[in-house]
Amino acid sequence: MAVNRKVQTLDEFTIQQLRDVPNATGELSHLLRNIGLAAKRVNTEVNKAGLVDILGDVGTVNVQGEEVKKLDVFANEQFTGVLSHGIACAGIASEELDDYVPFDDVKSNNSKYVCVFDPLDGSSNIDVNVSIGTIFGVYKRKTPIGTVVTKEDFLQAGNKQVAAGYIVYGSSTMLVYATRRGVQGFTLDPSIGEWTLSHPDIKCPEKGKIYSVNHGNFFQYEEKVRNYINECQHKTKANGGPYTQRYIGSMVSDVHRNLIKGGIFMYPGTTDKPNGKLRLLYECNPFAFIMSVAGGRATNGKTRILDIEPTELHQRTPLYIGSKLMMDELETYLNA
Ligand code: P6P
């Protein structure tokens, strides 16, 4: 009987990648599998989120006798827990934590990577059942192996990332990660609890017809941005349109859709928030890395996101990210 082995799991894929990477130690593969494990646990809880009232409100004890936590706190604990017990990560910085967390033990101090995380982005959408996500970036530590990591290990430009990815907890749950070798998409098969390769070697279409921006802030954007948005609204068949406006309000979902279909996502600075809302380290840099490997681009309106030298863990930046040709057109407006 022919055995259908077209399905390739995350474990199989990351281990097989080792064959093509000379001198690979397997630590990055181990780290990615750890993230996949924690994400499966988060997925289980996210899928029950609508039942919180039945299972008990946050801060109470549920029918299983477990304390009900806010989902983003739970997610942060899952990723921190799995990575601190693994052998590939020496510490993390998280949207949920004021400062970075060194995993100060012999095993972790001998690890060569650090991770930055937004454990559960868009969590305000949970109670209306809108898809949410986890975003992560992986760096080689700058400090010597064997020592405790310091803040400088986390304040690295996005172009120093060795990997980056996200999990989108949506109609299906996907884990997408990029290394310099390509962007790979895995869909969780709940029947076997495995991440299965469903979107190999993702490339962002050079052109798309989707623009994503919060129109509620329109009159707070600078004139050049407003002019580009007007351009998007006036596209016709004759000049590459018509465009459609899609904005979920959940970055992982909006950028994932545009990565697959082509499009541009914008979170510009506003008069109230000149640096915008999104965080450089664990929201913009990971997506900028993924998009650059997939053939797209990401800027803050002036500079490539990946080239920005961070000065603080939680600093914000305006973000424009998406298909190459759409970014080219945007920049003709921003540089006008
Ligand atoms: P606004 C979610 O809160 C988030 O951080 C991103 O996921 C999302 O893209 C953005 O904020 C939406 O912000 O101001 O448009 O509601």
Would you kindly state where each structural domain of the chain is located, as residue ranges? 10-199, 210-334
Do domains 10-199 and 210-334 share one topology? The answer is no
Which atom of ligand 1 is least distant from the CA of 122?
2
CA–CA distance, 90 with 198 (Å, rounded to integer): 31
Q: Is 249 left (phi over 0), alpha (psi -120 to 50) or beta?
A: left
As beta bridge partners, residue 298 has 321
Residue 58 is predicted with a pLDDT of 65
| Intervals of the chain under pLDDT 70 | 1-5, 49-69
- Say yes or no: CB of residue 215 within 6 Å of ligand 1: no
The residue contributing the CA closest to ligand 1 atom 5 is: 122
Mapped onto helix, strand or coil, the DSSP state of residue 6 is coil
C-alpha dist (Å) from residue 77 to 25, 38, 120, 216, 316: 27, 9, 11, 34, 24
Residue 3 is predicted with a pLDDT of 62
What top-level class would CATH report for the domain 10-199? Answer: alpha beta
| CATH no. for 210-334 | 3.40.190.80
Residue 291 is predicted with a pLDDT of 98
Q: What is the pTM of this model?
A: 0.94
- Say yes or no: CB of residue 250 within 6 Å of ligand 1: yes
Angle, helices 285-293 vs 251-261, to 10°: value is 10
Residue 175 DSSP code: E
Report how far ligand 1's centroid is from the alpha carbon of 189 (Å): 28
C-alpha dist (Å) from residue 57 to 62, 77, 123, 132, 309: 8, 18, 16, 20, 41
